[in-house]
Amino acid sequence: MWQGATKSAHRRELSDCDPVSGVMPAKYNSVISIRTLLLSGIVALLFGITSQSLAANDIRLPDIGNPSGNVLTPAQEKRLGRAFMRSIRSSLPVIQDPLLSAYIQSLGERIVQANENASGGFQFFLIDAQQVNAFAGPGGHIGVYAGLITTTESESELASVLAHEVAHVTQKHLVRTYDAVQTMSLPAAAVAIAAIAIGAATDNPDMALAAATGVQAGMMQREINFTRSHEEEADSIGIKTLAEAGFDPTAMPVFFSRMGKASRLYDNGKLPEFLRTHPVTTNRIADAYGRAGTFPYRQRADSLDYHLARERLRVMAFKDPREGIDFYSKSLNDGRYRNEEAHRYGYVLSLIGNRQYEQAREQLERLTRESPEQVEYLVAGSDLEKLSGDPQAGLEILKTGLKTHPANYPLTIYYAQALLDIGQPQKVIPLLEQQLQGRPDSVLAYKLLAQAAGDSGRGSEGHGYLAEYYYLIGDLKSALNHLETALRDRDLSYYESARMAARLKEIRQEKEDLEAREK
């Protein structure tokens, strides 16, 4: 049974994730060693990574497969994509914040639905870093840096970057390089791809090259770049997708133009990451304006969700909540804001962070009078009640919100946490199991399920959930340890024992494949 000291230890394990951002701490980074995994001949399955060489001749790739996309089956690409994400989570500060995750996924899905060539599930995720960039990996996993969102000046600009990246995926650019990856085991290939993604998207090739020993990694880095024709195609399809999705099609050239003007303020060695990995030329901007001009002009107001996400990210970036209080109080007094409601929301979060609960309540009441069902305000109100000493009132706010927004992911996650806080873990498991049907890779869901099972006295189930939690963040050793612990429970049913034994075998094989590549 999961009780006593063991239960307390697991609670400490599960409390390591930052409560606001959901970002895993640094101690979980680099759980999987990526030394020697970048073999010659491996090229990126990354979409959205370019270099200044685009201004020169196209890079000629060998014709090693059918460009129609039959090198990897959809099932193989999906498995590779999930393995890629495990490696990303172990190496980068992926934001698990339910509100921010829900926003970027919702915006991405709107783009995908407007792209007539998109098929299968796309997953969009955020990285807690101020780089102005985005990248994607196999299986339609598209990462967006926090700095990109806070740099955009409209939701259409943000959507334009997502549309461009989605176009690279749907057009299967560089799909012929998949058969080079087939020479490696799936987990090893995923780690190699993730290493290149990290190095390229941050414009820090040392992060990728450090993973290669005795390999012509510089040549590899050149081979992952897109050809000029690929970029033109992604621009063209991306602009069409923007128009179909109801966004301003000129947002892409506008963003390109603004980034191009910004480049004049830097020397070549200090350009922002977006400019290094997405070279912006006069011709490219002109072509983008020309393509956008073929669609009817559409001025689209930014959604409130976009503005709230930007301010939530801004608050997370402050080192001290008092910085946020000073920033928002001044901007609200001076009228220096793009969206008053979103700035007041940022002010509320900063006040809560600094334990100024009464002032936060006053500001939040102004927001809820205008938008009483806004999910962000419901979550803030629940947090405020809990921190003020009334967790039951906070629970009721979330419960009422779920009646208006059934199965809403952020509300469900916060409601599950609220149930745990007041000692009702037995209600959490069916609630979150249902969420996993739509979000099978939800790190937070498994984290809370593990705690709920442990608090309910269902120790073996708790270890099983913990195993999946650690597996998703790339810590295979801890995943195996928890499965082995669960299997020692003599009261485990035959079905559960067989299922966990099979899972143990699967993860152990993946770990052995990775270790074999390191020798």
Q: What is the mean pLDDT of the chain?
A: 79
CB neighbour list of residue 135: distance below 8 Å, 6 or more residues apart: 46, 47, 48, 49, 142, 143, 165, 197, 200, 201, 277
CB 193 within 8 Å of CB 46: yes
Residue whose structure tokens are 């969102």: 149
Confidence of residue 72 (pLDDT cuts 50, 70, 90): low
- The catalytically annotated residue of 77, 97, 155, 235 is 235
pLDDT at 323: 97
Percent of the chain whose predicted confidence (pLDDT) is above 90: 55
Beta bridge partners, 145, equal: 127
Tell me the CA distances in angstroms from 513 to 188, 318, 469, one per residue in order.
7, 41, 20
Confidence of residue 13 (pLDDT cuts 50, 70, 90): low
Tell me the CA distances in angstroms from 414 to 230, 405, 408, 426, one per residue in order.
42, 13, 10, 16
Q: Does residue 389 register a pLDDT over 90?
A: yes
The rounded distance, in Å, linking the Cα atoms of 89 and 354 is 29
Confidence of residue 142 (pLDDT cuts 50, 70, 90): very high
Task: Of 120-129, 259-268, 425-434, give the lowest mean pLDDT range.
Answer: 259-268
Residue whose structure tokens are 């927004």: 405
Region 6-18 average pLDDT: 50
Confidence of residue 189 (pLDDT cuts 50, 70, 90): low
DSSP 58: P
**pTM beyond cutoff 0.85:** no
- The catalytically annotated residue of 165, 203, 376, 383 is 165
Residues 284-295 have pLDDT tens digits of 889 899 999 999
Q: Does residue 408 register a pLDDT over 70?
A: yes
Confidence of residue 194 (pLDDT cuts 50, 70, 90): low
CB 175 within 8 Å of CB 71: yes
Residues 450-475 have pLDDT tens digits of 999 999 999 999 999 999 999 999 99
Q: Does residue 31 register a pLDDT over 60?
A: no
Between residues 460 and 269, which one has the greater pLDDT?
Answer: 460
Region 176-186 average pLDDT: 54
| Residue of 298, 163, 340, 333 lying closest to 235 (CA atoms) | 163
Confidence of residue 10 (pLDDT cuts 50, 70, 90): low
Task: Let me know if 235 is a catalytic residue.
Answer: yes
Q: Does residue 134 register a pLDDT over 70?
A: yes
Q: Does residue 218 register a pLDDT over 60?
A: no
Tell me the CA distances in angstroms from 193 to 65, 120, 196, one per residue in order.
19, 21, 5
The rounded distance, in Å, linking the Cα atoms of 477 and 474 is 9
Instruction: Give me the helix-helix angle, 282-292 and 228-244, nearest 10°.
Output: 30
Please count the other Cβ atoms lying within 10 Å of the Cβ belonging to residue 174. 23
**Three-state DSSP string of 7-63:** HHHHHHHHCCCCCCCCCCCHHHCCCCCCCCCCCCCCCCCCECCCCHHHHCCCCCCCC
The rounded distance, in Å, linking the Cα atoms of 211 and 413 is 36
pLDDT at 459: 94
pLDDT at 80: 82
pLDDT at 247: 96
Q: How many residues does the chain have?
A: 519
Q: Phi-psi bin for 94: left (phi > 0), alpha (psi -120 to 50), beta?
A: beta
Alpha helices in 388-493 (DSSP H): 391-404, 409-421, 428-438, 443-455, 459-472, 476-487
460-463-464-469 Cα dihedral, nearest 10 degrees: 160
